[in-house]
Chain A
Amino acid sequence: MTDQIDQLLSQTGMADEAQVREFLSDLQHTSTSVRPLPSAELSALLVTSPQRSGAHRHGLAITTLIVVGTLGAGATAAAASPDVRAATGQVAQAVIGALLPGTGASPAPATTGPSPTSTPGSSGTASDGHPSPIDHPDSTNHPQPTDHPGESPSNPGGGNADTHSNSGTSHHTDAPNSQPTTPPRHSGASAGS
């Protein structure tokens, strides 16, 4: 940062004063050569890995793939039978479950009970009223309110994303009949209908 030294000398009319320039350069160098050790509280706020920003791009790519793939399938399935649409929803769920394990989405929700052909999918027109696992209110990708900011920087894979496995699976019910009949929510993998 010799720019400020140059500006300072210029502003004071001492651009040619070699001794003063040397003094200021030495002062700057010796005063800024020591890096302080952050306290524990401060360390918790600092990002330790540059991979945190990649988590966002990763999620965005997944969403894009799901949307593109589903739209492509949905365009054909629009005029097809509901079974095709259900199968498209299963594909979307499978992709989500494979790429985002913590969301609670699974390709084969064996514990929910409904038959595969009657899987609500993502269209929101479930015939049997059973919400899909990814539509379960508790299996969303919402970060938990209790997530501590301090935990995130230490998690190279992205803080909040890694807590999904806890939120998704812990609330994934095994008792389909105990679930209220709530309208399935749009999961982002819309079939377009």
Chain B
Amino acid sequence: MVGDKPQRSRDQTVAGRFTVAYNSLSPRVLGYLRSHGVDDPEAVTNEVFLALYQNFENITGGDDGVRTMTFSIAHARLVDHHRARNNRPMSVVFDAEADPRRSPSAEDLATENIGNYGALALLQTLGEEQRETVTLRVIGGLSLDETAHVMSKTVGAIKQLQRRALESLRQSLSQGPTHD
């Protein structure tokens, strides 16, 4: 009887920690996937956390370790998504409001409102790896080292990518809308 309680408490701890991780990270994962144009970001978010749960007990490093593992899985899903889409064009009903992949209109630029639409649209002007770096750092909340781990790159490479990304953004933002 006594030997059972540690097992039960361990199960409860794992489930509790997993729930905390889900509540904390799921909006970020969803935003990360959405910012990269994943077709069904909510479904892929569910896949990410189901995959995370399978290996949750073995994750080390506390909250940082959980976050890194979560976005490693999300990154892998994103790569698979892009690979599949490149290999097989998919025709979907165009939803202008849900698709950020277009240039901002003159009206949007004129309003000087860098809201959700503007931020995502501006993000699309970056290269794929630059965009990945910025989204992992800003939306995912990953550190420099964690981002390097997820992208399987060196810290120096990530530093270069983020520097170039922000320089490009600064240029785009400084150009901004022009008023007549």
A residues in contact (CB < 8 Å) with B: 1, 4-5, 7-9, 11-14, 17, 19-20, 22-24, 26-28, 30-39, 41-42, 45-47, 50, 52-53, 55-56, 59-60, 63, 140-143, 149, 152-153, 158, 160-161, 187-188
Contact = CB atoms under 8 A, between A and B. Distances in A.
Interface of B: 1-2, 4-5, 7-9, 11-13, 15-16, 18-19, 22, 26-32, 34-35, 41-43, 45-46, 49-50, 53, 114-116, 119-120, 122-123, 134-135, 137-139, 141-144, 159, 162-163, 166-167, 169-170, 173-174
B52 to A, nearest CB: 10
Nearest to A59: B5
B4 A42 contact: no
Nearest to B146: A4
A36 B42 contact: yes
B138 A19 contact: no
B30 A36 contact: yes
B170 A14 contact: yes
Nearest to A141: B1
Given A9-B166, A42-B49, A45-B18, A4 B32 contact: no
A60 to B, nearest CB: 7
Given A4-B138, A36-B30, A30 B116 contact: yes
Given A17-B170, A28-B139, A36-B27, A152 B42 contact: no
Contacts of A45: 15, 18, 50, 53
B177 to A, nearest CB: 13
Contacts of A158: 8, 12
B16 A53 contact: yes
B27 A34 contact: yes
Contact of B114 (A26, A55, A142): A26
Given A9-B166, A19-B173, A143-B4, A152 B11 contact: yes
B129 to A, nearest CB: 15
Contacts of A26: 114-116, 119
A32 B28 contact: yes
Contacts of B143: 4, 7
10 contacts: A11-B162, A26-B114, A32-B28, A34-B31, A46-B22, A47-B15, A47-B18, A47-B19, A50-B16, A158-B12
Q: Report the 4 A-B pairs with minimum CB-CB distance, sorted nearest first.
A: A31-B31, A30-B116, A56-B9, A27-B119
B8 A41 contact: no
Contacts of B170: 14, 17, 19-20
Given A46-B15, A47-B16, A152-B11, A27 B22 contact: no
Given A7-B144, A23-B173, A30 B27 contact: no
B139 A63 contact: no
Nearest to B167: A12
B27 A39 contact: no
A19 B22 contact: no
Contacts of B135: 31
